[in-house]
Amino acid sequence: MIPKIQRAVIITAAGGPEVLSERCDWPVLAQLGPDDVLIEVAAAGINRHDCNQRAAGPSREPNPVPGLEASGRIVACGSNVAKERLGEAVIALTDGGAYAQYVATDQHLALPMPGGFDWVRGVALPEALFTTWFNFFDLMRMAPGETALIHGGSSGVGTIAIQLLHALGHDVFATAGTEEKRAVARGLGARAVFDYADPDLAEQVRAATNGRGVDCILDTSAGAHIMQDLAALAAGGRIAFLSAGGGKELGVPLRSLMARRASVTGAFLRSTPLELKRRIAGCLQQQVWPLLASAVRPYIDRVYPLSEAARAHAHMESNGHIGKIVLSVRE
């Protein structure tokens, strides 16, 4: 029987990690939509979006419980969901609410737990896989044989994106801020990894690609590297931004953009229409799931209990982590 209340971490005000508060009386969703499943959460992923949501406060979104990805078992199904899914171990992309014992999501966004993965390693996958596929293959329309540069190659998204693109046959380059982080990115399959603060970054990327430049750049810096990005692009190259920098404006030199026939794009995965997320989920299950056990393995930085969500946020915002930070909900 599903309880009516649960343990959950909520955002109580706009501010730092200290505004996160664990509650033991948070209500469990009373009614599922016809295409929803309810997951008993074993682990939840920590993402930069969670920190931004917390900093903005509970007025930004209707659900004060953060968390965009969960691993666990399906314990209830909406009317359109096959009852055979009850008890299924899944990893899921959610629309918030994963820092809790139970979270609901659309059935198509709850994907079967890959073979050989446990709850912690499984929960490191959804946000990174959806983000990688969406940006490279939907927004930037990456073609076979094209090359990629990933800023933040040691991040949760970066560590997965390097492995996935490498497994799909693409040459991947990356940036990272310390030699330790660069070594990790190289070990995951990056052909070369650069210091993103190096003033000669673009020249180094072009030298590593025999003067051609890279086709697709995934930029997490809210435009901080736009001049280097443009200089590192191959003709017809594309740049996708993951961060809006709190509403930062992007100054793009049109001459450089036009000279390379370049395109600049970006999107928020969270607000992407459900039908597009469902399509991405289908692509992942068909084309990526067969690679997970052998070619794509999450790099876990640290696991915190749910009660220490504030410490997990502080750790993420220190920028010292490599790979994924995870909350264990079954303490």
Return all residues near 43 (Cβ < 8 A) that are at least 6 apart.
Answer: 70, 71, 72, 119, 120, 122, 123, 303, 326, 327, 328, 329, 330
Q: pLDDT class for 253, splitting at 50, 70, 90?
A: confident
In sequence order, which ranges of the chain are alpha helices (DSSP H)?
48-56, 119-123, 126-133, 156-167, 179-187, 201-208, 226-232, 254-259, 274-283, 289-295, 309-317
Which pTM does this prediction carry? 0.94
pLDDT digits 0-9 by tens, 174-189: 999 999 999 999 999 9
Strands 192-195 and 172-176: parallel
Q: How far is CA 265 from CA 138, 141, 219, 223, 258, in A?
A: 11, 11, 10, 11, 15
What is the predicted pLDDT for the residue at 133? 97
298 CA to centre of own chain: 12
- 83-111 mean pLDDT: 97
- Rounded distance, CA 192 to CA 184, Å? 11
What is the predicted pLDDT for the residue at 331? 62
Closest Cα partner for 26 from 50, 10, 2? 10
104 CA to centre of own chain: 19
Strands 36-45 and 69-77: antiparallel
- 52-70 mean pLDDT: 91
pLDDT digits 0-9 by tens, 205-220: 999 999 999 999 999 8
Q: What is the CATH number of domain 128-266?
A: 3.40.50.720
- Rounded distance, CA 220 to CA 304, Å? 25
- 142-165 mean pLDDT: 96
Every domain of the chain and the residues it spans: 5-124+300-328, 128-266
**Domain 5-124+300-328 listed as CATH 3.30.390.30:** no
Q: pLDDT class for 1, splitting at 50, 70, 90?
A: confident
